[in-house]
Amino acid sequence: MRGKVSLRILLVNLFLSAGIAGVCAQDLHLSQLFSNPMYNNPAFAGTSECGRVTAAYRNQWPNVGGGFSIATVSYDQYFKALHGAIGAYVNADFQGGDIYRDITAALMYSFRARLGQKLYLTLAVQGAYMNKYVNWNSLTFGDQYDPFTGLIPGRETEEVLPNTPLNKHYADVGAGFTLYGEYFYVGFAALHLNRPDVGFMGHSRLDMKFSGQVGGMIYFRKTYGERHSERDFSLSPNIIYTQQGKFTELNYGLYGNFYPFVAGIWFRQSFTNPDALIFLFGGEFKGIRLAYSYDLTVSKLTKSGGSHEISLGFRLPCPKKHSFRQDIMPVPCPKF
């Protein structure tokens, strides 16, 4: 009985450690929200003028033993024949070295409708495969420690452990929309609509996740062409609110675009606790985007070392026909 209780406590602590005060413990989170826009809302798929491939890596709390790391790869592109866009991403979340991992592979379709001369609506659906894994062989327990000297090499635990690592496989579905014009956008997404069972020991339904996004672009100088583009000198204020169960997260900030460079500052918090001040700097060179951000922790976890995040994006060849480019006016939001 003692072994089972200890395992339950261990798993609860392990899963809760994925979050911080006010952050959804069930889902991972990223600071470069617009380098990975489909993670918050599948309706952002194909909302750039050109197709794009993006990879990102996040090292969270490097001063915490084992640490937390996240790797992502995504692709999205608009196809005129489909009257919308196809998007896909793979996220991998690692905690405590090789103790725990959470992998998600998602595929989405986003339909686009033109409501006016410069007003568009996208409606998206998403399906995902998710896998959670715990490696018992990498865990240590209280009976393997000496209160004075620490971990005792070679001491076997008396805990009753499973014979094999725990694997949990399940499907997940979500949906979202964006409404946008030349200067603004509004979006909303509902994820984990089927509330999959993610429990290793008994049933544990994943809470639905709701995310709202609002923002836009304030242009100061048109660089080229007949309409505004990401090459223009501009400022972009944005707000993203996320709720999952009892956990909430509010991100708000401002990007400055001085092509080919961009700089941004954000603040992340819940309604009761501050979390981090986020600084970002990036640039684009010949269709390649590179950005770095640092989370300066302002909560009680100030000794955690903050978080480092880097993203690398590749712009795919743009369509050449002018009429086609008009069909896919991009969402006026940051690209990092």
Task: Name which of 12, 30, 46, 44 is nearest 328 in CA terms.
Answer: 46
Tens digits of pLDDT across the chain (336 residues): 333 334 334 444 444 443 333 333 357 778 998 988 999 999 999 988 889 999 999 998 877 766 688 999 999 999 989 999 999 999 998 876 667 889 999 999 999 999 988 899 999 999 999 998 887 666 666 666 767 766 667 666 666 666 656 788 999 999 999 999 989 999 999 999 999 988 776 788 999 999 999 999 998 876 655 566 677 789 999 999 999 998 999 999 999 998 889 999 999 999 888 999 999 999 999 889 999 999 999 987 777 788 999 999 999 987 665 444 455 688 998 887
Report the pLDDT value the prediction gives residue 147, as an integer from 0 to 100.
72
Place of tokens 């460079």: 261
- In sequence order, the 6+-apart residues with CB closer than 8 A to the CB of 168 are 131, 132, 133, 198, 199, 200
**To which H or E segment does residue 177 belong?**
strand 166-180
* CA atoms within 13 Å, Cβ hemisphere of 125: 2
> What single string gives the DSSP state of each residue in 278-325?
EEEEEEEETTEEEEEEEEEE-SS-GGG--EEEEEEEEEPPPP--HHHH
Count helices and strands (H / E) in the chain.
3, 17
Report the pLDDT value the prediction gives residue 14, as an integer from 0 to 100.
47
Per CATH, the architecture of 2-327 is what? Answer: Beta Barrel (2.40)
Note whether 120 and 114 are within 8 A (CB).
yes
Residues, the chain:
336
H helix intervals, the chain: 2-16, 37-40, 322-327
Report the pLDDT value the prediction gives residue 19, as an integer from 0 to 100.
35
pTM of the model: 0.83
Report the pLDDT value the prediction gives residue 56, as an integer from 0 to 100.
96
C-alpha span between 225 and 308 (Å, rounded):
36
- In sequence order, the 6+-apart residues with CB closer than 8 A to the CB of 5 are none
Report the pLDDT value the prediction gives residue 18, as an integer from 0 to 100.
37
Domain ranges for the chain: 2-327
Note whether 299 and 276 are within 8 A (CB).
yes
Report the pLDDT value the prediction gives residue 63, as an integer from 0 to 100.
76
Joined tokens for residue 117: 């001369």
